[in-house]
Chain A
Amino acid sequence: MIASILASGLAVGAVYALIGVTYNTMFSASRVISFTAGMLGMLGGVFGSLFILRLGLPIVVGFALTMACCAVVGVITEFIAVRPVLKSLDQHLYVLSTLALSIMIQQLTATEWSTEPQRFPRLLDVGAGILDEKFWLPIVACGVVMGALEFLYRHTLVGKAFLAIAEDNFAARALGLPERNLRIASYALAGMIGAFAGFAGGELLLAFVANGSLLNFYGFVPVALGGLGNHRGAVVAGLALGIYQQAANFIVGGIFASVAVFALFIVLLLAVPQGLFGAPTVRRV
Chain B
Amino acid sequence: MSGKSDALPQVSVDGGRERTRNTLVSTVPFIAVFAIALAVPFLTNDYWVLIATRTAIYWLLVGALNLVVGFAGQLAIGYVAILTLGAYVTTILAAGNVLPPVPPFVALGIAGVAGSVFGVIIGLPALRLRTFYFAITTFGFATIVTQVALAWQSVTGGGIGLPGPEFPAPFNSRLGFYYFCLACAALCTWMTANVAHSRFGRALIAIRDAEVAAEAAGISKARLLITVFIFTGAAAAVAGGLFASLQTYITPDAFTFDLSILFFISILIGGRGSILGPMLGTIILTLLPEIASPLATWSTFLYACLLLAVVLAVPGGIAALLDFKNRKPLLSNRAIVPRASAITEVLQSVQTRETLILRELVLSFGGVRAVDGVDLEVLPGEIHGLIGPNGSGKTTILNVISGYYRPEAGSVRLGDNALEQRSTVVRAASGIARTFQTPRIVGEATVLQNVLIGGTIRGRANFIETLLSLARHRQDEDMAHAEGLLALHAVGLRELADVRADRLQHSELRFMEIARALMGRPSILLLDEPAAGLSADEIKRLGQLVKAISRCGTAILVVEHHADLIFDICDRVTVLNLGQVLAKGTPTEIRVHKEVVSAYLGG
> Hey, which bits of chain A sit against chain B, CB under 8 A?
33, 80-81, 84-85, 91-93, 95-97, 99-101, 103-104, 107-108, 111, 213-214, 216-217, 220-221, 224, 254-256, 258-259, 262, 265-266, 269-270, 273, 283-285
Interchain CB contact under 8 A, A213 and B144: no
Interchain CB contact under 8 A, A269 and B133: yes
Interchain CB contact under 8 A, A258 and B304: no
Interchain CB contact under 8 A, A97 and B308: yes
Interchain CB contact under 8 A, B148 and A33: no
Interchain nearest-CB distance for B121 vs A (Å): 7
In the assembly, what is the distance between CA of A91 and CA of B73, in Å? 9
In the assembly, what is the distance between CA of A284 and CA of B214, in Å? 13
- By a CB distance below 8 angstroms, the chain A residues around B137 are 265-266, 269
Q: Mark B135-178, 1 if CB is under 8 A from A, else 0.
A: 11101110110011001100000000000000000000000000
In the assembly, what is the distance between CA of A283 and CA of B137, in Å? 25
The residue in chain B whose Cβ has the minimal distance to the Cβ of A107 is B301
B280 within 8 A of A: no
Identify which of A103, A255, A285 contacts B152 (C-beta below 8 A). A255
The residue in chain A whose Cβ has the minimal distance to the Cβ of B313 is A84
Q: A85-B311, A108-B301, A258-B147 are in contact. Are A220 and B125 (CB under 8 A)?
A: no
In the assembly, what is the distance between CA of A155 and CA of B259, in Å? 48
Identify which of B268, B399, B404 contacts A96 (C-beta below 8 A). B268
Interchain CB contact under 8 A, A285 and B399: yes
Interchain CB contact under 8 A, A284 and B136: no
Interchain nearest-CB distance for B295 vs A (Å): 13
- With A101-B308, A265-B137 given, name 5 new contacts (CB 8 A): A33-B132, A217-B140, A255-B148, A258-B147, A269-B124
Interchain CB contact under 8 A, A270 and B125: yes
16 A-B pairs with CB atoms under 8 Å apart are A81-B308, A91-B315, A93-B311, A96-B75, A104-B308, A111-B301, A213-B143, A217-B136, A220-B140, A221-B140, A254-B151, A265-B140, A266-B121, A269-B137, A283-B405, A285-B395
Identify which of A100, A221, A284 contacts B404 (C-beta below 8 A). A284
In the assembly, what is the distance between CA of A85 and CA of B140, in Å? 24
Q: A81-B308, A107-B300, A265-B137 are in contact. Are A92 and B132 (CB under 8 A)?
A: yes
Q: A103-B300, A213-B143 are in contact. Are A266 and B131 (CB under 8 A)?
A: no
B460 within 8 A of A: no
- By a CB distance below 8 angstroms, the chain B residues around A273 are 128-129
Interchain CB contact under 8 A, A96 and B311: yes
- By a CB distance below 8 angstroms, the chain B residues around A101 are 304, 308
Interchain CB contact under 8 A, B144 and A100: no
Interchain CB contact under 8 A, B300 and A262: no
Interchain nearest-CB distance for A94 vs B (Å): 8
Interchain nearest-CB distance for B394 vs A (Å): 13
The residue in chain B whose Cβ has the minimal distance to the Cβ of A274 is B129
Interchain nearest-CB distance for B55 vs A (Å): 22
Q: Mark B250-293, 1 if CB is under 8 A from A, else 0.
A: 00000001000100000010000000000000000000000000
Give the number of residue pairs across the A-B interface with Cβ within 8 Å.
115
Interchain CB contact under 8 A, B399 and A224: no
B358 within 8 A of A: no
Interchain CB contact under 8 A, A270 and B77: no
- By a CB distance below 8 angstroms, the chain B residues around A255 are 147-148, 151-152
Interchain CB contact under 8 A, B152 and A214: no
- By a CB distance below 8 angstroms, the chain A residues around B212 are 284-285
B307 within 8 A of A: yes
Chain B interface extent, by class = 35 or more
In the assembly, what is the distance between CA of A104 and CA of B147, in Å? 22
Interchain nearest-CB distance for B187 vs A (Å): 30
In the assembly, what is the distance between CA of A273 and CA of B139, in Å? 18
In the assembly, what is the distance between CA of A262 and CA of B125, in Å? 12
Interchain nearest-CB distance for B554 vs A (Å): 22
Interchain CB contact under 8 A, B125 and A104: no
Interchain CB contact under 8 A, A80 and B151: no
The residue in chain A whose Cβ has the minimal distance to the Cβ of B302 is A107
Interchain nearest-CB distance for A234 vs B (Å): 14
The residue in chain B whose Cβ has the minimal distance to the Cβ of A253 is B151
Interchain CB contact under 8 A, B311 and A97: yes
Identify which of B136, B261, B307, B404 contacts A220 (C-beta below 8 A). B136
In the assembly, what is the distance between CA of A256 and CA of B147, in Å? 9
- By a CB distance below 8 angstroms, the chain B residues around A84 are 312
Identify which of A93, A104, A258, A269 contacts B148 (C-beta below 8 A). A258
B563 within 8 A of A: no
In the assembly, what is the distance between CA of A95 and CA of B139, in Å? 12
In the assembly, what is the distance between CA of A258 and CA of B122, in Å? 15
- By a CB distance below 8 angstroms, the chain A residues around B304 are 100-101, 103-104, 107
B305 within 8 A of A: yes
Interchain CB contact under 8 A, B257 and A213: yes
Q: A92-B75, A96-B75, A216-B139 are in contact. Are A270 and B311 (CB under 8 A)?
A: no
Interchain CB contact under 8 A, A259 and B297: no
Interchain CB contact under 8 A, B131 and A269: no
- By a CB distance below 8 angstroms, the chain B residues around A100 are 304-305, 307-308, 311
Counting from the closest, the 8 A-B pairs by CB-CB distance are: A103-B304, A100-B308, A217-B140, A100-B307, A255-B151, A92-B131, A107-B301, A100-B304
The residue in chain A whose Cβ has the minimal distance to the Cβ of B149 is A255
In the assembly, what is the distance between CA of A96 and CA of B311, in Å? 7
- By a CB distance below 8 angstroms, the chain A residues around B124 are 266, 269-270
The residue in chain B whose Cβ has the minimal distance to the Cβ of A216 is B139
Interchain CB contact under 8 A, A111 and B147: no
The residue in chain B whose Cβ has the minimal distance to the Cβ of A105 is B304
Q: A100-B305, A266-B125 are in contact. Are A95 and B261 (CB under 8 A)?
A: no
Interchain CB contact under 8 A, B308 and A224: no
- By a CB distance below 8 angstroms, the chain B residues around A96 are 75, 268, 307-308, 311
- By a CB distance below 8 angstroms, the chain A residues around B75 are 92, 95-96
The residue in chain B whose Cβ has the minimal distance to the Cβ of A281 is B130
Interchain nearest-CB distance for B365 vs A (Å): 8
Interchain nearest-CB distance for A27 vs B (Å): 10
In the assembly, what is the distance between CA of A91 and CA of B147, in Å? 32
- By a CB distance below 8 angstroms, the chain B residues around A284 are 211-212, 404
Interchain CB contact under 8 A, A259 and B148: yes
The residue in chain B whose Cβ has the minimal distance to the Cβ of A285 is B404
- By a CB distance below 8 angstroms, the chain B residues around A93 are 311, 315
In the assembly, what is the distance between CA of A84 and CA of B309, in Å? 11
Instruction: Give the one of B135, B136, B301 with max A CB within 10 A.
Output: B136
Interchain CB contact under 8 A, A217 and B139: yes
In the assembly, what is the distance between CA of A224 and CA of B399, in Å? 30
In the assembly, what is the distance between CA of A277 and CA of B29, in Å? 53
Interchain nearest-CB distance for B573 vs A (Å): 24
In the assembly, what is the distance between CA of A205 and CA of B440, in Å? 49
Q: Mark B71-90, 1 if CB is under 8 A from A, else 0.
A: 00001010000000000000
Q: A220-B136, A273-B128 are in contact. Are A99 and B77 (CB under 8 A)?
A: yes
In the assembly, what is the distance between CA of A168 and CA of B505, in Å? 33
The residue in chain B whose Cβ has the minimal distance to the Cβ of A110 is B300
Interchain nearest-CB distance for A76 vs B (Å): 12
Interchain nearest-CB distance for A205 vs B (Å): 14
The residue in chain B whose Cβ has the minimal distance to the Cβ of A101 is B308
Q: A217-B140, A258-B147 are in contact. Are A104 and B301 (CB under 8 A)?
A: yes
In the assembly, what is the distance between CA of A233 and CA of B126, in Å? 23
